[in-house]
Amino acid sequence: MDDNLSFKKFLDWVDNYSLNSETYKFENIMRQTKEFIPESDIKIFYPQYLFRENVETNLLLFTKTKVYKITGDESRTFFHVFNLKDVVDVNFQVFNEAGRDNFILNISFTSDKHLSLNSLNDTNDHWRNTFINKIKAIFQTLLNN
């Protein structure tokens, strides 16, 4: 998948973007993330709500065996780790909503936790096709596990 929003590109953006409260938050989160998760392990990067206003961004990192959901601010970083071996249900939907394709992927785990990805709600219109491609890639990865 040609990924114009890869983890590497996101790191570059955080490193090079003019400093403001948003990049301060991501600098802290990325510093903690790089300490615990090798960049080479990350197969798919899904920055849920990154391009939405007034919604906390969830950085989802998919590796071969785990999904990391990372949130935080300038002073705190929260890691929630989901094991892919604990997936009990995957629900993938594609439908047309008001003339726009919408891709939804719901992933349920044995711990009664779940992740929900939605190409219309997780981003803005400019990045929607990129998020559609990411959701497709995540679904394909889950099919092959």
Q: In the predicted model, is pLDDT for residue 92 greater than 80?
A: yes
Contacts of 1 (CB under 8 A, 6+ apart): 133, 134, 137
How far is residue 55's CA from residue 119's CA, in Å, rounded to a whole number? 15
Render pLDDT for 43-79 as a digit per residue (tens, 0 to 9). Answer: 999 999 988 888 888 999 999 999 999 998 778 899 9
What range defines the domain where residue 54 resides?
Answer: 7-143
Q: How confident is residue 122, by pLDDT bands cut at 50, 70 and 90?
A: very high
Q: 117: closest CA among 35, 62, 42? A: 62
Give residue 1's pLDDT.
Answer: 56
Q: Which helix (H) or strand (E) holds 79?
A: strand 77-83
Contact 33/80 with Cβ under 8 angstroms?
no
Q: In the predicted model, is pLDDT for residue 17 greater than 90?
A: no
Q: What is the domain-level CATH number for residue 24?
A: 2.30.29.30
Q: Does residue 65 lie in a domain region?
A: yes
Q: Count how many domains the chain has.
A: 1
Q: Partners of 114 in the beta sheet?
A: 108
